[in-house]
Chain A
């Protein structure tokens, strides 16, 4: 007797090989999608949003591309998720992780075709991943002791990261910028302290790092444009009308005269508040909320620079930089910590006026002003710089570095290959496949650069068979080169994260033998 429908209508169920096929294909499609962006000669993608305005984004960043896609295939979603996590956790390598996972699954597909059970493949992959990690650990270099060398390591890493992005033209300049910014953080990974301001106009080369803090606001009319030895009060308080916060209170009046009285009282109250603020002995007041004309005028009278409507991040950062605290009550002027800076002035970038705080107490924070021809360009530049900053700040904590240009992959592949030869049983096929998947990364880098990948990889393999070698792909000259001399480095932490999460994701997808898709929730038709 045939089973009646077990699941709800529209729900679908795929079993066994079909399910595995569906997830392999989905995952590989995603990997192929971002594959062409890998490496220094990788290409960019244009993404157009479906929202209003059809905003266009041009990017090379794997995580950004995948985030914007609407995907229905569940296996593909797993890959999108790992790329997102990679972005959150280490900031770079978002493309590599997806490509590696895709390649692992591609190899796994071949193995399942040869009737090897997925569990055997997983067992092999696990052994291989462990072995590859150990290989990386052995080869990682740590220059923490030697500040000079460490700094040059950082510089190299930043350049390598940037070389695949839009900033590749001026990578040296931006690498220097990023390294300087990160060095200022003194080991903290709090990237919030680095502010990036984008201003269209000028060329990328005009971007600069500023030691102080730049607030994208205008100075009120009639207030001083330049203050030396500023004492700053950073506040988060209502400066429009001070609402009565007691629940249920309302004003009820019976005559016009009364209205005037209340209004005067209100004004008095505001004036008192302003007086209290002025009583702190400040000459600059920054508020997160609006400042109405009346108090603004009062401030101007007192010769105080009042800045309204600074965004929340701006306020926090400003408090951080100037060493003041964010105040909301003003009754005890003596105990409120004020912020200090040497000079506040209005500066012009392009056509816009900005407020520049220089000579701040805490040296940690800084601002990077990006200039560029178009907003798309600026967005992409910001993403690229963000990647570089993330990698650098992670490297400052974990100072182990590796060479780049496909060198780590080849090192891992060699070790894994040797493991395969030692391992008896069907698992060795899977281990071999893992090594092939690792080698496909330099292959793709070479392919993207329009080089003869088969030739290059075989040369590389031969080079790596020698005991110590620094060979990798030199995309610029199109041959095999010494990565140490070329100064191409990568962070150990990024590579390790790529390796582990790609293996984890591949394992997860491999274990699946059934996909059940529930009926999509009915949405109200908004047409």
Chain B
């Protein structure tokens, strides 16, 4: 794979160890990249839509994950190809930014790449294709804005939010009780939402799962659930009007950070040291008691002696509570996290109406419920389900639903789902294409074709005739001038998504188109792949 030769036919050495590297150039490089990207998209294509299938993934450690979530599939897939990794990134960024539509974005990118390949074969320069895509994506995004609807919701009227979350959940395994889960998600988001600033901090929603029971038992708790129990088996299991001291210092003698030694050489010193030690424990517990705490939550462990003293003074305590949970407890109860016993004051205590321990099943699993908190701005969704994989998948699905609800609070515009938005964009882009002179026109038309691939995949996964269905819906949209016609995946009998109550968020859709276009542009611009070849 020499790059250049001198007059005697010897290669110039340009790259380090260039003989050992494989190299792809020009059209070959682009085609190889495109086919890798499409291969990833092909894997996800069957997961799209309410009738999409799941993937079973086995991790290097043998754990099994069953999921329908694009971002999770790609993350777990152990991808080795560079371009495929780009697609993984693409799906991840959609996940971070929007939280939903991670499968759709990859399928979209795959379709764009597929169309680009055809154009390249006709001899159109990749950069021109990329530019055409850029123009087209802008047209599509503007068009989405036009067909979007705003809807009003308030805390009393959460119906539109619930409907949108249901659309998200309907493609997951949990669609059996999507209504209940959607309501939980919306209520959780509204509980922590800052409606004035239109922002939601999803960190305040804790999602906790425990195997056993059934999916219908999943509940929303206005408070915190911690997977811990009281440090001493005989402490009370139920505390009302709890005043909570939240500590990040262990109930142990202090360990100064500076290196030191305490030398004991006389009996007196030995005895004083002993008394000191006892006093330490006594003081610690006394301080908690003095400020009026009725429950101690500590990040670290307790010494046996301290544990008994706490028990003795009737001060229930929980140990080894994780940092994140500690923060949540502090937020929920309005308390402050106290790093030292000396700094404990009554104002820094958190307050909760009820703290109780609950046990599950036949094993001795116990959870601690902290409810009726002073500041209920932290909630927990507690998931039950038949097996571990089910719980994990439910967590992911709920995360998607939470994100959707948050996006709606930020921006209450929606577009209609079921592929209707894509079809409508496709028509708009197609119509706009003729106005652009030059080679870009082709690229813009191809973009319109690529947009069709999402409804195509939806129809295919639902067991419908893809081309028949798509053309029928498309002509209906043009004829009736109704941009809300989509694919009737669930065989309801109408193609009007407004009637079917299938919504998606506007920003989610826009982001999908923009991100997919960006990645495709990036892939198209690569014309040289240099990789260390295998030995």
Listed in ascending order, the chain A residues whose CB lies under 8 Å from chain B are 1-9, 11, 13, 19, 23, 72, 74-75, 77-78, 81-82, 85, 87-91, 117-120, 126, 189-192, 236-237, 242, 244-254, 258, 261-262, 264-266, 269, 316, 319-320, 325-329, 331-332, 335-336, 390, 393-394, 500-501, 504-505, 507-509, 511-521
Contact = CB atoms under 8 A, between A and B. Distances in A.
B390 A251 contact: no
B10 interface: no
B36 interface: yes
A119 B79 contact: no
7 contacts: A78-B66, A251-B263, A319-B233, A325-B311, A504-B214, A512-B54, A517-B57
B11 interface: no
A320 B233 contact: yes
Interface string B193-229: 0000000000000000001111100000000000000
A345 to B, nearest CB: 26
B362 A248 contact: no
Interface centre among B260, B277, B386, B390 (most CB of A within 10 A): B386
Contact of A77 (B64, B277, B390): B64
Contacts of B173: 507-508, 511
Contacts of A252: 263-265
A316 B364 CA distance: 13
A518 B305 contact: no
A262 B254 CA distance: 24
Interface on chain B toward A: helix, strand, loop, or mixed SS?
A: mixed
B339 interface: no
Nearest 9 CB-CB pairings of A with B: A328-B308, A501-B386, A513-B53, A89-B212, A521-B60, A504-B386, A249-B262, A511-B54, A247-B255
Given A325-B311, A508-B66, A519 B60 contact: yes
Interface on chain A toward B: helix, strand, loop, or mixed SS?
A: mixed
Given A335-B312, A513-B53, A516-B57, A394 B362 contact: yes
Given A251-B270, A511-B66, 17 more contacts: A13-B43, A88-B211, A88-B362, A117-B51, A119-B463, A190-B364, A242-B274, A245-B305, A248-B259, A251-B265, A258-B266, A261-B266, A269-B274, A329-B278, A508-B393, A511-B53, A512-B56
A39 B53 CA distance: 36
Interface centre among B46, B264, B280 (most CB of A within 10 A): B264
B147 interface: no
Interface in B289-339: 303-305, 307-309, 311-312
Interface string B251-263: 0111110011111
A244 B359 contact: no
Given A119-B51, A258-B265, A325 B234 contact: yes
A88 B211 CA distance: 9
A315 B528 CA distance: 71
Contacts of A521: 60-61
B34 to A, nearest CB: 8
Contacts of B387: 78, 81-82, 85, 501, 504-505, 508
Nearest to A192: B364
Contacts of A72: 62
A250 B259 CA distance: 13
A250 B54 contact: no
B253 A88 contact: no
B271 A247 contact: no
Nearest to A425: B491
A390 B360 CA distance: 12
B78 A1 contact: no
B203 to A, nearest CB: 29
Nearest to A120: B463
A1 B31 contact: yes
A66 to B, nearest CB: 12
Nearest to B303: A245
Contact of A6 (B39, B56, B212): B39
Interface of B: 28, 31-32, 35-36, 38-40, 43, 46, 51, 53-62, 64, 66, 68, 73, 76-81, 84, 173, 176, 211-215, 232-234, 252-256, 259-267, 270-271, 273-274, 276-278, 280-281, 303-305, 307-309, 311-312, 359-365, 385-390, 393, 463
A90 B363 CA distance: 9
A7 B80 contact: yes
A519 B55 contact: no
A374 to B, nearest CB: 26
B233 A7 contact: no
A332 B308 CA distance: 12
Given A7-B78, A328-B308, A518-B59, A505 B253 contact: no
A3 B387 CA distance: 37
Contacts of B253: 245-247
Contacts of B281: 329
Nearest to A11: B78
Contacts of A120: 463
A265 B58 CA distance: 61
Given A85-B211, A85-B212, A250 B362 contact: no
Contact of A82 (B28, B32, B362, B386): B386
B463 to A, nearest CB: 5
A11 B64 CA distance: 14
A8 B278 CA distance: 59
Contacts of A3: 35-36, 38-39
Given A117-B463, A251-B264, A390 B51 contact: no
B267 A89 contact: no
A89 B261 CA distance: 52
Nearest to B255: A247
B44 to A, nearest CB: 10
Contacts of B80: 5-9
Contacts of A250: 261-264
Nearest to A513: B53
A488 B60 CA distance: 46
A247 B254 contact: yes
Contact of A248 (B43, B262, B276, B390): B262
B56 A516 contact: yes
Contacts of B38: 3
Nearest to B534: A9
A74 B56 contact: yes
B64 A245 contact: no
B312 A504 contact: no
B287 to A, nearest CB: 17
Nearest to A394: B362
B169 to A, nearest CB: 14
A520 B386 contact: no
Contacts of A258: 265-266
Contacts of A11: 77-78
B79 to A, nearest CB: 6
A514 B262 contact: no
Nearest to A265: B267
Contact of B53 (A247, A335, A514): A514
Contacts of A189: 359, 362
Contacts of A393: 362
